[in-house]
Amino acid sequence: MTANDSSPHHLQLTRDGQLRHFLTLDGLDRALLTDILDTADSFIEVGERTIKKVPLLRGRTVVNLFFESSTRTRSTFELAAKRLSADVLNLDISTSATSKGESLSDTLLNLEAMASDMFVVRHSQSGAPHFIAESVTPGVAIINAGDGRHAHPTQAMLDMLTIRQHKGRFEGLKVAIVGDVLHSRVARSQIRALNELGAEEVRVIAPGTLLPKDVESLGCTVEYDMTRGMKDLDVVIMLRLQKERMEGALLPSEREFYRLYGLNQQKLALAHPECIVMHPGPINRGVEIESAVADGPQSVILNQVTNGIAIRMAVMSMAMGGQVSERQQKLSERGQA
């Protein structure tokens, strides 16, 4: 027996299957993920114009609601919203309301008064954007900019865009994700996206302490030995390692981690010669990746930034579009009734 059904994909899709929130890649099918990538392609072209701005979200208000500060991610969302002609408000709540004991529900009540059309949410707790999507007034789109260990769907989709640009396809690709999968929201979203888009194999390479329980159930194989894991790879994605992992007895030292799971030229040479190297950033050189690799010809780390803006423009305009068309639908139904 299961509980009342409120799985995320019902929450983030309209009845006719359009995006209305963007919380997780769970429940989004290949067609929709491909639509996002295609739409992002169009926005990349917009970014190459003299005026890098389209009027899609003109007059709408996007609130960047960052309960966990991240200047980099917030900036790309801000730029994306501005290129869609939206008005943007940045709220860094990590230091203000919640630390004074105000609950998330109360914070939201205060924000409702601002009559925003979209919240871009980053939160340290898994499921927070989902909770917000369930709580806010209908018509407000929620975009997940990273929640706890759960999901970072825009980051994963921009990685998919980068892979598609370089490989032209997902079928037949062998992709490895290396490092701290346990704490990584990015890895969870990437594994899900790669599976849905048809990658042949997703491998996670990490020591047992940095893997979630039953990780294979997410749709990946596990390899403890990076030398073996690099074999035949088309794409290798390096994850960021937080310093505090040494404290919880998850790892002995950065040095040992780098020796075993850091990416250097010797290890990269074991992969397919055209293997691309990715990293969601910010990079810890000499901890996850050697500078010669990060700056080398196979690295596509910088491409990922341009793609980030385009992907965020795509999901913001698609989710807003889903919200407005749903609202029109309801209005016309009410008119007929």
Q: Is 56 or 283 the residue whose CB approaches another protein more closely? A: 56
| 185 annotated ligand-binding residue | yes
Smallest gap from Cβ 72 to another protein, in A, equals 21
Residue 281 assigned as binding residue: yes
In the complex, the smallest distance separating the C-beta of residue 20 from another protein, rounded to whole angstroms, is: 9
Tell whether 243 is in a known binding site.
no
265 carries a ligand binding annotation: no
Nearer to another protein, 207 or 296 (CB): 207
The percent helix, strand, coil of the chain (3-state, each to 5) is 45, 15, 40
CB of 59 to another protein, least distance (A): 9
3-state secondary structure of 177: strand
Q: Is 139 annotated as a binding residue?
A: no
Nearest to another protein of 39, 75 (CB atom)? 39
282 is in an annotated binding site: yes
Output the smallest distance, CB 259 to another protein, in A. Answer: 27
Residue 181 vs 268, nearer CB to another protein: 181
Q: Would the annotation count 122 as a binding residue?
A: yes
Helices 153-167, 185-197: crossing angle, 10 deg rounding: 50
Residue 252's Cβ-count burial label (10 Å; 0-12, 13-18, 19+) is: exposed
User: Whats the size of the chain, residue-wise?
Assistant: 337
- Nearest residue (CB) to another protein, 183 versus 267: 183
Q: Which helix (H) or strand (E) holds 303?
A: helix 303-336
Read out DSSP for 80-130?
Answer: HHHHTT-EEEEEE-TTTTGGGT--HHHHHHHHHTT--SEEEEEESSTTHHH
Pick the closer one to another protein by CB: 38 or 274.
Answer: 38
Annotated binding residue 155: yes
CB 73 within 8 A of CB 123: no
Interface residue list for another protein (CB under 8 A): 1-8, 11, 18, 26, 35, 38-39, 41-42, 44-46, 49-51, 53-56, 103-105, 123, 125-128, 130-131, 135, 147-151, 185, 188, 212-215, 217-218, 317-318, 320-325, 328
Question: Is residue 217 classed as helix, strand or coil in its secondary structure?
Answer: helix
CB burial string 134-165: b at 16+ within 10 A, e below: eebeeebbbbbbbbbbbbbbbbbbbbbbbbbb
152 is in an annotated binding site: yes
Start-to-end C-alpha separation, the chain: 37
At its nearest, how many Å lie between another protein and the CB of residue 156? 13
Based on CB atoms, which residue is closest to another protein, 1 or 113?
Answer: 1
- CB-CB contact of 56 with 84 (8 Å): yes
Q: How far is the CB of 180 from another protein (least distance, A)?
A: 12
62, 89 Cβ separation under 8 angstroms = yes
At residue 236, the 3 state secondary structure works out as: strand
Cβ 337 to another protein, closest distance in Å?
A: 19
State the binding site for L-aspartate.
100, 185, 240
State the binding site.
72-73, 100, 122, 152, 155, 185, 240, 281-282
State the binding site for carbamoyl phosphate.
72-73, 122, 152, 155, 281-282
